[in-house]
Amino acid sequence: MFIIIGIMFGGIGIGYLFRKIAFLQKLNASISYTIYLLLFLLGISVGTNETIMNNLGTLGLEAFLIALAGTLGSVVAAWVVYRFFFKRKESNI
């Protein structure tokens, strides 16, 4: 996991250093299509895995609950940050 995060941050750093190169600015469209292809191939891989397909009901419920908890936690954290750091204080005149 740390290797993947390190590679990502390394790519961010290199992208920042070479941001003026025209060729690299044109990669956005091809990167999107590459991600779509990778997601499609991941779907094929999941679809052909018997263990995952046989337990999809259980795995689907767990994945939904984890996603719901993560989303709710992010919303609550964003609200707290907004409330304490960005909301203007009302003046009592």
Interval 20-60: pLDDT, tens: 888 877 787 788 899 999 999 999 998 999 998 888 888 88
How many CA atoms within 13 Å lie on the side-chain side of 80?
Answer: 6
- Tell me the C-alpha distance between 9 and 27, whole Å: 18
What band does 90 get if pLDDT is binned at 50, 70 and 90? low
The position carrying tokens 């995060």 is 5
71 pLDDT higher than 60: yes
List Cα–Cα distances, 1 to 7, 8, 46, 71, 92, in angstroms: 10, 11, 21, 22, 51
- The per-residue pLDDT of the chain, averaged, comes to 88
Q: Supply the pLDDT for residue 91.
A: 56
pLDDT at 12 over 70: yes
Helix or strand holding residue 2 (H, E): helix 2-17
Report whether pLDDT(93) > 60: no
